[in-house]
A and B are shown apart, each in its own frame.
Chain A
Amino acid sequence: DVVLTQTPSILSATIGQSVSISCRSSQSLLDSDGNTYLYWFLQRPGQSPQRLIYLVSNLGSGVPNRFSGSGSGTDFTLKISGVEAEDLGVYYCMQATHAPPTFGAGTKLELK
């Protein structure tokens, strides 16, 4: 199975600070159809995961544009440009290029 390694595991930030989360894959996530099936989710305490980014860099519907995704192949990044209080929670990357779909271990974003 594809292993997704997220760093850091815990991220402490102040409101307004810009932060980045890395997701590295054990295999290239470029599919033979030309798409890269890499997603980012935020899970707030007690809630279901909420999709932020799909196909590496596409902003999900209703997601604030302070979130952005980038990367290719095996290295991907989620950036938050100006953390807000509602952004606190655990961030997960997920790949669906290779079966079975797998998730990273998560990055907890907390207030410094």
Chain B
Amino acid sequence: QVKLLQSGAALVKPGASVKMSCKASGYTFTDYWVSWVKQSHGKSLEWIGEIYPNSGATNFNEKFKGKATLTVDKSTSTAYMELSRLTSEDSAIYYCTRLGSRYWGQGVMVTVSS
């Protein structure tokens, strides 16, 4: 069955970067866009951007351009998101998903604190 397995929680210092992973299984990884979604504590959901693994093409929410970098490793069916120049505003849970589908990762909690 389709699974999206995300990496573990991260505690990072302000100004640093963090890279998280989303390993796909149970389907042809290169056939579907992978989206990333942010959920700040107790808040709603924000779409960050998406990547098409076959070509590496990306689309971003303007709000997250320059903040998020999306990449994939086709050999391991893994999508990555790197967040840079972290501030307290980046503390949140980050999900990978095939947007619009039933398939979501379990989420990665990122805490930015000194």
Chain A residues within CB distance 8 Å of chain B: 37, 39, 48-51, 54, 60-62, 92, 94, 96, 99-106
Contacts and interface: CB of A to CB of B under 8 A. Distances in A.
A106 B61 CA distance: 20
Contacts of A49: 45, 95, 97, 104
A104 B44 CA distance: 7
Contacts of A92: 44-45
Contact of A101 (B99, B104, B106): B99
Contacts of B14: none
Nearest to A102: B47
A46 to B, nearest CB: 9
Which 5 pairs across A and B sit closest by C-beta, in order of nearness? A48-B104, A100-B61, A103-B45, A101-B47, A51-B102
Given A37-B100, A61-B102, A100-B62, A48 B47 contact: no
Interface string B16-55: 0000000000000000000100000000111100000000
Given A48-B95, A99-B59, A100-B61, A94 B45 contact: yes
A48 B102 contact: no
A39 B100 contact: yes
Given A62-B102, A103-B45, A105-B44, 17 more contacts: A48-B104, A48-B107, A49-B45, A49-B95, A50-B102, A51-B100, A51-B101, A54-B100, A61-B102, A92-B44, A92-B45, A96-B100, A100-B59, A101-B99, A103-B44, A103-B47, A106-B44
